[in-house]
A and B are shown apart, each in its own frame.
Chain A
């Protein structure tokens, strides 16, 4: 169902349609303006699934009064498309969500309203007209921080981690064809570990396109298996994973 308001909007915008290519995944609605929103997801929000995030976003957008385009059909829903999926337990500084607007709005004002309507841990950073497709995302950069209460000297451990990933590392990895023994290094663009006080900090760039996607949890699993860390007290030993950036196929240029 399209309201009168939307119809007007759609008609007056038909000329724009020819200039802007329709991004994939978005059901074509002539003229509704595609915009991209960059947000970060931290704190307790890391525990919610993709589906939950989608529902949460729909409600935030309605609360903020953003004139979003709804899907057609019997049960119209605000239409959102997200960039590459983030596994439960992962924080992120750079997530992207595409929506369509049925009315022009001031982006700065809209961002402010979105942030007012968001739960703690969810921050909206930028809103702009889409310039690229999500299919251009090839890699994701992560920071993994590990607190291990074991005795091992942390700088030595960091050194050992760097050595580990210089050779093939075989793990059971899930893929579309089932679970297979896989060399996860095939999916690692680069990785380096350092020790900082009592923590290990790992920075890595992993494949993140839809055909080759490495969940950063595999890096932690490899360390658990090889070095026997993170097996002790569940309260004192912990690790965090934060997605820092999304990169294009050259492994350097940031996706926007």
Chain B
């Protein structure tokens, strides 16, 4: 049990980050528990509590009477200092027990820049970082989430990764653990070996990796015959029947997404060529509107939240959106619940949709054209035209909105100066459209925010082979755009190219990067996704200390016949498809979305109900 830390809690900012005790948290009798799981989010409580995946997996694991899943988050620096000073190991919120006392410590890996936090959390719990250094008395460290599709840079720290959707896989893994413990066959090694036979689990220590002289990969080989050569991603076939958490842990302090997040479907029909989520979550599997409306109602009654956000990658692609919103509005209006729809596509933004979400307070709307010219938008397969965008903003303007946010990317493959200038031009056209809209809101000035991210080549995308522009190039591009934006009504902000470069290194990294991460941990680096902590020069020092060339990972064009670190994972989408897409992008040829026609990406082999895929289509 936790010591009396009231003195500590009184001395740190936002103590409610660490107390636990929220309504809806699950506390069990330790004596009846056969497997304890600490679900860790390697960032602050406010971000972690907003994660939909944790909400689901916390509920699904705790369904079993003999499993107890608790939560832990990365302590803010003031709390870290107190923990270290008072020799209190990092603890889980429900029991206050140290993470070391758990059977499993699980990390959800949402972005590459959280890796230093993962190591810091292990360190604070007194758990050795490298799996090879951890004995039988140490918990099994398991990872999951989007970064596990290329987990190689952190492979040496983890015992096992859950690949794909975890709500069926994780309980299976727990059952295996409990049964091996009960029948006396358990040792960490034998358990991991058995676990590698379960679908969707990757045990990195069971593979030998060799490199060529030029630094590329020579081979990945299973150490034993019974260990699979490729790990197939797990998916939930029927989303209507998938586990759904009817109760949530209710934070006291405000979190990032302090609302009901209704997951409408998984996957994305679009296939933008830079987007990892759009590829690795395939195939699309939808929930039916009745199920969703009922689930929302149950959640409303159990949480008291007065906002429901329909969350999915591109919500307007949902085939029953009208039915769903009508269904929801039939009771949410009276209950004074706000409906919000994030991530709208410009080509599906209609007056009707606008009216339904008009209850939302915000006066600003966000669209993501991603590129400034039609040629480049075609090359990245963002099938949106400038006309779509102007239609959408016209609807928004005539409904009284006067702020538009536009997301773009710099440094996309084949980008030219013309494309960069196109960003400024597009923004200008949006302003013009405002003045052309007769029923616009004349009382307030129009403003357009152009937010430009840097392209990062991500595994399992058609652009996975592409080099990232060098930092200097990216900075020149940013400057060029800045010069082209002359209208004061257009605000321009851009992502730090340095952050994007480090992200690119780890996104396409291999196992040799673990040394750099351990060195970063030794230098007390953490919270890399926070501007106030990210330090590019420190990263360069770490890489040079470890003899690592960041350009090898970030700025190199990878050969199409090279073995990739993530080839070990089968995420459904085939390499042939990704290559086809890459080649089409060179010719600025688009690919239709899954609704319009199948482009044979391979994800249909994973199965799934309510998909658009030809073989499994059952609509």
Contact = CB atoms under 8 A, between A and B. Distances in A.
Interface of A: 1, 3, 43-45, 47-49, 51-53, 55-56, 58-63, 65, 70, 74-77, 88-89, 117-121, 234-235, 237-238, 240
B304 A47 contact: no
A170 to B, nearest CB: 24
A47 B250 contact: no
Contacts of A52: 16, 252-254
20 contacts: A3-B334, A43-B21, A47-B15, A47-B16, A49-B253, A55-B254, A59-B250, A59-B305, A63-B301, A63-B303, A65-B301, A89-B10, A118-B23, A119-B21, A120-B21, A121-B21, A234-B82, A235-B3, A235-B4, A235-B8
Contacts of A56: 23, 250, 252
B302 interface: yes
Contacts of A70: 336
Contacts of A234: 7-8, 11, 82, 86
Contacts of A55: 252, 254
A238 B4 CA distance: 9
B253 A235 contact: no
Interface of B: 3-11, 15-16, 19-23, 82, 86, 250, 252-254, 300-306, 334, 336, 338, 361
A72 to B, nearest CB: 11
Given A75-B361, A235-B3, A44 B303 contact: no
B5 A235 contact: yes
B332 to A, nearest CB: 12
A44 B18 CA distance: 9
Contacts of B8: 234-235
Given A62-B306, A119-B250, A44 B361 contact: no
Given A63-B302, A89-B10, A44 B86 contact: no
B10 to A, nearest CB: 5
A187 to B, nearest CB: 22
A237 B7 contact: yes
A33 to B, nearest CB: 19
Nearest to A237: B7
A44 B20 contact: yes
A98 B301 CA distance: 22
A118 B304 CA distance: 11
A117 B250 CA distance: 11
Nearest to A64: B304
B7 A59 contact: no
A44 B4 CA distance: 12
Contact of A59 (B5, B82, B303): B303
Given A61-B304, A237-B7, 14 more contacts: A44-B20, A52-B16, A55-B254, A59-B304, A59-B305, A75-B338, A117-B23, A119-B23, A119-B252, A234-B82, A235-B7, A235-B86, A238-B6, A240-B6
B23 A47 contact: no
A44 B336 contact: no
A1 B21 contact: no
Contact of B21 (A45, A65, A75, A76): A45
Nearest to B5: A235
A192 B9 CA distance: 27
Given A117-B23, A234-B8, A238-B4, A44 B16 contact: yes
Nearest to B24: A119
A164 B396 CA distance: 67
A47 B304 CA distance: 21
Taking each of A43, A56, A121, which has the highest tally of chain B beta carbons within 10 Å of its own beta carbon?
A: A56
Closest 8 pairs (CB-CB, A-B): A59-B304, A62-B304, A44-B19, A234-B7, A44-B21, A119-B23, A47-B15, A63-B304
B19 A47 contact: yes
Contacts of B361: 74-75
A103 to B, nearest CB: 14
Contacts of A63: 301-304
Nearest to A89: B10
Nearest to A60: B304
A97 B11 CA distance: 28
Contact of A238 (B7, B15, B16): B7
A216 to B, nearest CB: 13
